[in-house]
Chains A and B, each alone.
Chain A
Amino acid sequence: MSAVSGLRRRSRSAVVGAVLAVVVVVLLLVSLGLGQFRLSPVQVLQALAGDGLGHVVVVQWRLPRALAAVVLGFGLAVAGALFQTVTRNPLASPDVVGLAHGAFTGVLVALAAGAGSWVVLTASAVAGGLAVAVAVWLLASGGVVGGLRLVVVGVGVAALLASVNTWLLLQVELDVAMSASAWGAGSLNGVTAVQTAPAAALTTVLVVGALALSRSLRQIDLGDDVAAATGVRVPAVRTAALLLGVLLVCVATAVVGPVAFVALVAPHVARRLARTPHQPLLLSGAAGALLLLVSDVVAQHALPVPLPAGVVTVSLGGAYLVHLVAREVRRR
């Protein structure tokens, strides 16, 4: 009985994964054709293979941004799944250790100090996020790795930084505050191959690392004692998973800013689509990639005023989760 339902669940996961992958690829092709210089998906394919103006527009201008959305959305979602699994808290995301708040504080401080260049802002964001992660880790020391203490300490630190951010926003000039808020929402504007290539490489390595842990994580899901009895080194696996999650978020933050919501929502969407008992890593990644790609397309092409993709991500992801939850309630 359980074997049958397990098999059915696995084949459902495979179908959901395949559908998500196809949708992502199709949307990628469509999005590469959108903009001032409009191309059909077939023309996009020709441009990808061929040369001339179409090749320049599609491969050099649009592809880095679209690929960044796919890869970083994937990475963020995997990070969220890792955090939710390790902390056993469905509301946990890398935000729980204050990464996004710390990154935003870093940028606000840099902006208040008069910095304006992309490199400085990125560096201060990543430095802020990492500093906060280290602080939370130290403050929560002595407890279970990834236990309740880490979560509560992280919430406290995040709230502290949120207060500081609110205050900093009130101190700076209105235009500085607005551009900081736009950055803080997360945006793919101005992303080029220079950022996408290293970010994609790093994300791939980190995701492979996460997949290597997935079997042990599933054992831990059954309980620490069960996992330990089957030879899993529980604290080491937990630490590694949290570290991978933090690094994945740092890579994404460096390129697009704190697009926090993907990490929280994508694992829930994936889990509800596939009806798996745990947060599925790869499916979460696929859902995250789709969410960030759709959001960026909508933010670029469908809105009357240009808005950061992060704003759309929150609305779209939130609305879709509302739909899934409501459907679940109706079905019972």
Chain B
Amino acid sequence: MPARSLEAAAPSSSGADRGRRRRAPLLVVLLAGLAALLLAVVLSLAVGAKPLVPAVVLDALAGRGTAEADYVMGLRLPRTAAAVLAGAALAVAGALVQGLTRNPLADPGLLGVNAGAAFAVALGVALLGLSDPWSVLWLALGGACVLSAAVVVVGGVGSASGGSGGGRGGDPLRLVLAGVALGAALSGVTTGLVLSDPDAFDRMRSWNAGSVLGRGWDVLAPAVPFVLAGLVVAAACGRGLDALALGDDLARSQGVRTGRLRLAVVAAVTLLAGAATAVAGPLVFVGLVAPRLARWLVGPHQGRLLVVCLLLGPVLVLLADVLGRVLLPPAEVPVGVVVGVVGAPLLIAVARRSTR
């Protein structure tokens, strides 16, 4: 019996940054976030190889644009929408995973979403020769869902869902280990597969970079319902996650069914991160940075976190995408690369202020 309780709980970060400084009111944060999002969207529509002044952008949006402006907008609108969709989904997924695992290191990739998507895409590219965006979308989405389901089974999330009889309804550490281990095992196979096929390697190295370039509406539309469903589940889980932050026992005494809650959270993360990865490739770092920023801004309350993440994620991805267009002209730096370069200093700055 004692050996069972020896699993060290992952360290909680919720206490570390609580009450250390006065925070701006939520309304101010939300208004500022909304303004930043609008600015980022306009920038994303205006900046690029063919710069447009904002007035031309607005004209084109209102249907009064020139033929040239319409052509440029036809390329940049879906791209902007893809960045918003992926950013929002990943940021919310990250907040959910950090709440679920009580581990500040957690990002959506921990549940194996990335590894599953990458494996399916590599298989499709190497064995079936599928590489058009539409096939890649469904391959990635399918791979992400299958691996998440496997993580749930191995990690025992669904077991003891009633929370009675001594079962702990899925230890968060065990869930994370299951995700890391399954993801690693699969990514080893992916690496082996890709290293023995130069053509697949070439395609995978650009998929791995993460990009929203050339994502048309036809690729975007199928991903939208998944993201919306994920957001609905996420919203429903907020209160339960707040209780879970206090520990499993306290959460259960408040009537939270921890096993069922974890299952729902994993489902939401899979839908959100899977759809985002399917659209834009692996940009998981967004799911680590945006929730940390949001937590620093508005504190650990899940409901607020989710709303702020919904704004911060798109801003981060949009700005990274815009920056990628102007960094090394005439080439474009993939958004996934810029996200790392922009997000890491942010993360480090926040860590220096809010952790010891």
CA gap between A318 and B182 in the complex, in Å: 6
The answer to whether A89 and B4 touch (CB under 8 A), given A152-B104, A152-B347, A162-B340, is: no
Task: State whether A318 touches B188 (Cβ < 8 A).
Answer: yes
Task: State whether A88 touches B155 (Cβ < 8 A).
Answer: no
Task: State whether B355 touches A152 (Cβ < 8 A).
Answer: yes
Task: State whether A177 touches B201 (Cβ < 8 A).
Answer: yes
Q: Tell me whether B184 is interfacial, beta carbon within 8 Å.
A: yes
Most B Cβ at <10 Å: residue of A305, A321, A322: A322
CA gap between A155 and B10 in the complex, in Å: 16
Helix, strand, loop or mixed for chain B's interface? helix
Looking at the assembled complex, report how far the CB atom of A244 sits from the nearest CB atom of chain B, in whole angstroms: 21
Task: State whether B185 touches A314 (Cβ < 8 A).
Answer: yes
CA gap between A263 and B345 in the complex, in Å: 26
Question: Which residues of chain B from 143 to 201 have any CB-CB distance to chain A below 8 Å in the complex?
Answer: 153-156, 159-160, 167, 173-174, 176-178, 180-189, 191-192, 194-196, 198, 201
Task: State whether A167 touches B288 (Cβ < 8 A).
Answer: no
Task: State whether B205 touches A170 (Cβ < 8 A).
Answer: yes
Looking at the assembled complex, report how far the CB atom of B172 sits from the nearest CB atom of chain A, in whole angstroms: 10
Question: Which residues of chain B from 323 to 338 have any CB-CB distance to chain A below 8 Å in the complex?
Answer: 333-334, 336-338
Interface range on chain A (Cβ under 8 Å from partner): 35 or more
> How many interface contacts (CB-CB < 8 Å) are there between A and B?
201
Which residues of A lie under 8 Å from residue B334 when comparing CB positions?
166-167, 170
Helix, strand, loop or mixed for chain A's interface? helix
Q: Contacting B184 at CB < 8 Å: which of A162, A163, A265, A332? A: A265
The answer to whether A166 and B347 touch (CB under 8 A), given A174-B202, A314-B188, is: no
Residue of B nearest to A319 (CB): B185
Residue of A nearest to B170 (CB): A329
Which residues of A lie under 8 Å from residue B181 when comparing CB positions?
265, 317-319, 321-322, 325
Residue of B nearest to A2 (CB): B2
Task: State whether B188 touches A311 (Cβ < 8 A).
Answer: yes
Q: Contacting A329 at CB < 8 Å: which of B155, B205, B339? A: B155
Q: Tell me whether A25 is interfacial, beta carbon within 8 Å.
A: no
The answer to whether A178 and B180 touch (CB under 8 A), given A156-B351, A319-B185, is: no
Q: Tell me whether A275 is interfacial, beta carbon within 8 Å.
A: yes
Question: Which residues of chain B from 196 to 240 have any CB-CB distance to chain A below 8 Å in the complex?
Answer: 196, 198, 201-202, 205-206, 208-209
Task: State whether A144 touches B356 (Cβ < 8 A).
Answer: yes
Q: How many residues of chain B get a CB closer than 8 Å to chain A's CBs?
A: 66
Task: State whether A268 touches B288 (Cβ < 8 A).
Answer: no
Q: Contacting A142 at CB < 8 Å: which of B4, B338, B352? A: B352
Looking at the assembled complex, report how far the CB atom of A107 sits from the nearest CB atom of chain B, in whole angstroms: 16
Task: State whether B356 touches A312 (Cβ < 8 A).
Answer: no
CA gap between A177 and B201 in the complex, in Å: 9
> Can you pick out 26 interface pairs between chain A and chain B where the beta carbons lie within 8 Å of each other?
A89-B105, A90-B173, A92-B105, A142-B352, A148-B104, A148-B355, A148-B356, A152-B348, A157-B348, A159-B285, A159-B340, A159-B343, A163-B285, A167-B334, A181-B195, A276-B6, A307-B195, A315-B189, A316-B185, A319-B181, A325-B155, A325-B181, A330-B156, A332-B4, A332-B156, A332-B159
Given contacts A143-B355, A144-B356, A318-B182, 10 further A-B contacts (CB under 8 A): A142-B352, A152-B105, A152-B348, A156-B348, A159-B343, A170-B206, A185-B191, A314-B187, A321-B177, A332-B159
